[in-house]
């Protein structure tokens, strides 16, 4: 809240008092004359009724009525709300039936100079993350660092293929390809785990590696493999265009580990350019039906969600599957929808959902930056928190 308990020139004492007497709603029985005479900082956690009694008692026993005071609600959480005022008037600003931290003293007047927590660009925004549980941390951490309250609603699980035979076969001949193209970090992890269970990584020494996007490249490099090429456009069309230019793909052999439900465009375009292509399913995405977190449907219905993020076409489809197509389309019509790229946005559009945000670069950092830009440009009243 930007309110320190102590500060040079703000008094020599800090007093923490209870807000009520025992189990009752009555203000605590304290020596108010001594408390008022101490000066310094006074802190109390209390409800609206107790706050009124405490502030009256302090003024009645000598604390200046124009002394700075603040009320901090839901302190240290993304839903934190702070009210500034004076000792004489702060009780009239208190929210009924909601307890708060009352801070009285000169330190309360420092808030405008020291506040930082509630000035972050996504502070007060509640954003749904639909990524798989094991992959959501990066997006959640970035959003929360900028002040957002995140709601995890994993809509997919990334699982092994049911029949590993074709994948094992691809692993056995991988060293004979000119290029191996990874389109996602999931593809890297599932292919390499299977490959290393059967072969020495040094057998790939003659294969050049293409990774679509920095997160995919990072996944490759975690295995000690240097990425030879990251296309400027982070989707299949960009890869096909680069390799096809000037006949660069003709006569070359490409291995494409991919998801079961992935688009086949990349392989088709490379074949058109004269390449020999082996596409192999390295993993599957399945709906995550174990929804143990907050009731996102109710939150959307109550309009307490500011944005829903989608990082793949499968997250969109499974989100709609979990909520029901008609309900999802209706609820998202009034909510900011952020899609990581045009493929994801197209999947949403096919279901009747318009993507409000599509970043220029199809990465998690770019998606977060686009959310910041959107909410800074539409800095209206925050949705009520419930």
Residue 169 lies in a domain: yes
Mean pLDDT to the nearest integer, 102-107: 93
Residue 89 sits in which domain range? 14-113
Residue 69 lies in a domain: yes
In this structure, are 361 and 267 located in the same domain? no
pLDDT, position 240: 76
Q: What kind and span of H or E run contains 196? A: helix 185-196
35 φ/ψ angles, rounded to the nearest 5 degrees? -60, -45
Find the radius of gyration of the CA atoms of the chain.
28
Q: How far apart are CA 265 and CA 239, in angstroms?
A: 10
pLDDT, position 170: 96
| Tens digits of residue pLDDT in 196-247 | 999 999 999 999 999 988 889 999 999 999 999 998 876 666 777 788 776 7
| Tens digits of residue pLDDT in 280-338 | 999 998 888 877 778 999 999 999 999 999 999 999 999 999 999 999 999 999 899 99
In this structure, are 145 and 170 located in the same domain? no
| Tens digits of residue pLDDT in 51-90 | 998 999 999 999 999 999 999 999 888 888 999 999 999 9
In this structure, are 173 and 258 located in the same domain? yes
In this structure, are 339 and 299 located in the same domain? yes
pLDDT, position 41: 93
How many other CB atoms are there within 10 angstroms of residue 329's CB atom? Answer: 16
In this structure, are 299 and 367 located in the same domain? yes
Residue 235 lies in a domain: yes
Question: Is beta strand 276-287 parallel, antiparallel or unpaired with respect to 156-159?
Answer: antiparallel
| Tens digits of residue pLDDT in 139-155 | 999 999 999 999 999 99
| Tens digits of residue pLDDT in 246-265 | 677 889 999 999 988 777 78
Strands of the 41-46 sheet, one edge to the other: 14-18, 41-46, 100-104, 68-73, 81-86
Strands of the 149-152 sheet, one edge to the other: 149-152, 126-129, 307-310, 336-339
- CATH code of 281's domain: 3.40.50.10090
- CATH code of 88's domain: 3.30.950.10
pLDDT band at 119 (very low <50, low <70, confident <90, very high): confident
In this structure, are 137 and 77 located in the same domain? no
Q: Could you tell me which residue, 113 or 128, shows the higher pLDDT?
A: 128
pLDDT, position 386: 46
In this structure, are 297 and 256 located in the same domain? no
Strand segments, DSSP code E, in 64-195 are: 68-73, 81-86, 100-104, 126-129, 149-152, 156-159, 179-182
pLDDT, position 234: 66
Decide which of 286, 312, 327 is a domain's last residue: 286
Residue 47 lies in a domain: yes
pLDDT band at 379 (very low <50, low <70, confident <90, very high): confident
pLDDT, position 129: 97
253 φ/ψ angles, rounded to the nearest 5 degrees? -105, 125
Residue 373 in this model has a pLDDT that exceeds 90: yes
pLDDT, position 381: 52
In this structure, are 272 and 371 located in the same domain? no
How many domains are contained in the chain? 3
In this structure, are 175 and 279 located in the same domain? yes
Mean pLDDT over all residues of the chain?
A: 90
Q: Could you tell me which residue, 108 or 264, shows the higher pLDDT?
A: 108
Residue 14 in this model has a pLDDT that exceeds 60: yes
Mean pLDDT to the nearest integer, 103-112: 90
């Amino acid at each position: 809240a930007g309110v320190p308990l102590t500060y040079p020139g703000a008094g020599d004492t800090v007093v923490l008092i209870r807000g009520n007497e025992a189990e009752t709603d009555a203000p605590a029985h304290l020596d108010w004359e001594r408390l008022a005479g101490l000066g310094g900082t006074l802190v109390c956690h209390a409800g609206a009724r107790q706050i009124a009694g405490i502030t009256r008692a302090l003024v009645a026993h000598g604390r200046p009525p124009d002394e700075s005071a603040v009320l901090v609600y839901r302190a240290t959480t993304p839903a934190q709300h702070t009210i500034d005022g004076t000792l004489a008037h702060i009780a009239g600003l208190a929210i009924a039936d909601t307890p708060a931290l009352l801070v009285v003293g000169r330190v309360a007047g420092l808030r405008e100079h020291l506040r930082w927590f509630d000035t972050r660009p996504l502070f007060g925004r509640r954003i749904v993350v639909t990524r798989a549980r094991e992959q959501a941390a990066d997006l959640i951490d970035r959003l929360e660092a900028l002040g957002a309250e995140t709601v995890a609603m994993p809509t997919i699980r990334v699982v092994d293929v049911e029949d590993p035979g074709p994948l094992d076969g691809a692993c056995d001949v991988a060293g004979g390809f000119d290029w191996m193209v990874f389109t996602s970090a999931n593809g890297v992890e599932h292919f390499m785990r299977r490959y290393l269970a059967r072969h020495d990584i040094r057998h790939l020494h003659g294969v050049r590696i293409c990774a679509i996007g920095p997160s995919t490249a990072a996944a490759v490099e975690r295995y000690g493999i240097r990425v030879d090429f990251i296309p400027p456009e982070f989707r299949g069309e960009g890869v096909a265009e680069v390799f096809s230019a000037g006949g660069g793909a003709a006569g070359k052999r490409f291995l494409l580990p991919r998801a079961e439900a992935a688009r086949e465009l990349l392989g088709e375009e490379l074949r058109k350019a004269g390449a020999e292509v082996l596409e192999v399913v390295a993993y599957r995405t399945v709906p995550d039906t174990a929804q143990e977190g907050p009731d996102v449907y109710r939150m959307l219905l109550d309009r307490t969600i500011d944005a829903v993020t989608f990082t793949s076409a499968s997250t969109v489809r499974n989100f709609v599957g979990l909520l029901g197509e008609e309900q999802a389309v209706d609820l998202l019509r009034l909510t900011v929808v952020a899609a990581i790229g045009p493929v994801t946005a197209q999947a949403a559009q096919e279901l009747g959902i318009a993507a409000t945000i599509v970043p220029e670069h199809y990465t998690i950092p770019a998606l977060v930056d686009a959310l910041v830009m959107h909410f800074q440009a539409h800095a209206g009243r925050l949705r009520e928190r419930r």
